[in-house]
Amino acid sequence: SDLRREISLEVGPALLIQAVVSHHREIDEEEILDLWRVTWKEPRRLVEHIAFPASSDEGQLRTRIEQWAKNTREVLVSGTPLEEAVETPVGIGPAHMPRIGSGWIRESELAGNPAFFEVFQVAVGDVLGPVQEANYGWHLFRGVETRATRTYSEVRAQLLQQLLDEPATDEELLTVERLIRRRIS
């Protein structure tokens, strides 16, 4: 009961503030359109990504890192989770440790790097790579999920609610406080 009381004392005011700010929030149609362009206008793909850094002047080490990327690809193809797929070979220093992550991407975000366009060509679950990036090293990608496009009219209400539910900023809090103070002497 003490924990419940403490949580309600913390969460209650925060929810009230969010509800009040959300009620006063004015969302322009352009803001909704911008969010639609980012989320639903073009197909998106959730990808898992491993980047193996190796500069072009590292000779034999670069070759070892390339082989490491190829070996990791084979482990990923077998369905191994991303974090468990990378086994560091002996002699690889911290500067060459792979960067691991995942996220949603759109084709338009890949415009600056045409080597990565194939990410949208592989089937969900398949592994792309190693793809060599000039002056960096190698990349492995695994497609996790694909989301098709949706029309603006289909998702407008959902996007509006998403914008209304965003956490209140300090500026919004001050604006609502000024509005309330004007009404109350």
Asked if the peptide bond before residue 130 counts as cis, ω within 30 degrees of 0, the response is yes
Query: Could you tell me if 99 and 139 are in contact, meaning their C-beta atoms sit under 8 angstroms apart?
Result: no
What mean pLDDT do residues 57-85 have? 86
Indicate the helix (H) or strand (E) that contains 159.
helix 152-164
pTM given for the model:
0.69
pLDDT at residue 151 is higher than 90 = yes
Please state, for a pLDDT cut of 90, what percent of the chain lies above it.
Answer: 31
pLDDT for residue 56 is more than 70: no
Residue 32 has pLDDT above 90, yes or no: yes
Which pLDDT tens digit goes with each residue over 88-125?
A: 787 777 888 899 999 998 888 887 777 787 888 889 98
Q: Which two tokens stand for residue 174?
A: 């001050």
Q: What rounded mean pLDDT belongs to the chain?
A: 85
